[in-house]
Amino acid sequence: MASRIAICIPTYQRPTYLREAIQSVLEQSYNNFTIYISDNASQDNTREVVASFHDPRIIYHRNEQNIGSTLNTKLAVQKATQDKGTEYVALLCDDDLYMPDHLAIAIDALEKHEQAAYFNCPGKTFGNGQSDVMYMFPNPTGDSPLLYYKTDRAVEFIGVTAGLGSSLVIRKVALLDHLYWGNKDFLPYDLLLYTQLMAHGGFVFGRLPTVCYRYHDANLSSYSNGKWLFNEKLVCMRAYAARYVAQFLVNKGDCSLTDIENHCRTAVAEQIVALVMGLASFESPPALRRLAHRVFRTRTDADSISHRFRIARKIGFLFFALSEKASQLLTGWKPEPIQLTTNL
């Protein structure tokens, strides 16, 4: 009998954390699931850790070679969608944990909002002295336990992450369409994936944190601390993601240039930085570059958090495109051409 939900756990060289992640799934109050472990060619005892559970609901696959974290996650999701009886696909990072009712709450929320493409929620942080609630985006106000974000609000998520990765429970039909994840080296695939999913029906946000996000020295935020070239590569990738998603939404008819510009008038400064840098690129269509220029002129509040904005005030708007190109050359990261048919 097919499981109703498939949980994807991509992993690499974290057997101790992985054991805890798997155990947190097995302790769910909702148990009609299959766990897909996609091992990215670990050279340790990961295989033995998985086998030690002796649970037929766990399916283990090991890549012959390391294919990068993004493609490994994509591979796990692709395998999970092949089971015809599966209705939902969930993601769980190998260093994070589910709380006991996460799957039950997520499925109940998606049944209440049948049009929503996915569910996400905040996470409780732990490890390295952390103890807080992580929202990513949005951080809502009010008392409603569930908030539904319609497709026409996708414009609000250009350049930001619309969900905490390990909290995602996705309706499988939204994954069956072609989704662009980026290439092997594209680390912030969430900036591409979630907004594309949202275009399939929006998402439902549960206010209650039902996952645990672990802080440790190998987290992306910790790893990038003090590593200038690595951070420059991430800057290029985030700009590219904003550029892709903006064109994707306009191309699908989910928003217009006017919608993007109107959103830019009220978006937080952090979001404006990624959006303006992405749309100002030499690779961006002229209409989006003009839009970015207008936003740059009016959103001077971004100067306080971005040295690029401060420099651009003195040198000129062209600096954004030049600095992105320089960062690409310095880091060796080359973006793929955006394959979208658009009249922008």
Segment 96-111, tens digit of pLDDT: 999 999 999 999 999 9
Q: Is the pLDDT of residue 57 over 60?
A: yes
Q: Is the pLDDT of residue 142 over 80?
A: no
Distances (CA, A) of 268 to 212, 218, 311: 26, 28, 20
Q: Is the pLDDT of residue 1 over 90?
A: no
Q: Is the pLDDT of residue 287 over 80?
A: yes
Q: What is the mean pLDDT of residues 319-344?
A: 88
Q: Supply the pLDDT for residue 220.
A: 62
Helix, coil or strand: residue 217? coil
Q: Which domains does the chain possess?
A: 5-223 (3.90.550.10), 228-331 (no CATH)
Number of H helices, E strands in the chain: 13, 12
Q: Is the pLDDT of residue 42 over 80?
A: yes
Q: Supply the pLDDT for residue 230.
A: 85
pLDDT classification of 129: cutoffs 50, 70, 90:
confident
pLDDT classification of 224: cutoffs 50, 70, 90:
low
Q: What is the mean pLDDT of residues 164-180?
A: 92
Contact (CB, 8 A) for 181 and 193: yes
The residues, ordered by sequence, that sit 6+ positions from 188 with a Cβ below 8 Å of its Cβ are: 161, 234, 237, 238, 241
pTM: 0.92
pLDDT classification of 143: cutoffs 50, 70, 90:
confident
Q: Supply the pLDDT for residue 340.
A: 85
The DSSP secondary-structure symbol of 13 reads S
Q: What is the mean pLDDT of residues 262-276?
A: 91
Percent of the chain with pLDDT strictly greater than 90: 72
Least confident of 14-23, 113-122, 124-133, 320-329: 124-133
Q: Is the pLDDT of residue 138 over 80?
A: no
For tokens 């002129």, the residue is 297
Q: What is the mean pLDDT of residues 300-315?
A: 95
Q: What is d(CA 31, CA 318) in angstroms, rounded to the nearest whole number? A: 55
Q: Is the pLDDT of residue 132 over 90?
A: no
Q: Supply the pLDDT for residue 144.
A: 84
Strand ranges inside 63-108, DSSP E: 88-91, 97-98
Token pair, residue 296, equals 């740059």
Contact (CB, 8 A) for 19 and 35: no
Look at strands 97-98 and 58-62 and give their pairing. unpaired
Token pair, residue 266, equals 């009220």
Least confident of 20-34, 64-78, 162-176, 328-342: 328-342
